[in-house]
Homo-oligomer: A and B are copies of this chain.
Amino acid sequence: MKMTTGYEPILQNVAKHIALSEGETTFFCSLLQERQYHKKEYLLREGGICNQLAFLTSGCVKSYLLDQKSNEHILTIAIADWWVADYQSLVFDTPSELFIEAVEPTTALLLTKPDREILFTRIPRFEQYFRILTERAFAVSQQRITDILSLPAAARYEQFLRRYQRIAASFSQQQIASFIGVTPAFFSRMLKSKRSS
Give this chain's copy count. Answer: 2
A13 at the interface (CB under 8 A from B): no
Complex Cα gap A143–B139 (Å): 14
Complex Cα gap A76–B139 (Å): 13
B-binding segment of A30-38, A85-93, A103-111, A160-168: A85-93
Report the interface size for chain A: residues with CB under 8 A from the other chain: 38
Question: What is the predominant secondary structure among interface residues of chain A facing chain B?
Answer: helix
Establish whether residues B143 and A145, one from each chain, have CB atoms under 8 Å apart when the complex forms: no
Establish whether residues A87 and B142, one from each chain, have CB atoms under 8 Å apart when the complex forms: yes
Establish whether residues A142 and B92, one from each chain, have CB atoms under 8 Å apart when the complex forms: no
Complex Cα gap A102–B125 (Å): 36
Indicate which residue in B76, B127, B143 contacts A124 across the interface (CB closer than 8 Å).
B127
CB distance from A30 to the nearest CB of B (A): 22
Note all chain B residues with C-beta closer than 8 A to A137. Answer: 138
A-B contact pairs, 10 of them (CB 8 A): A73-B146, A73-B150, A92-B136, A124-B127, A127-B127, A130-B135, A131-B134, A134-B138, A138-B141, A145-B145
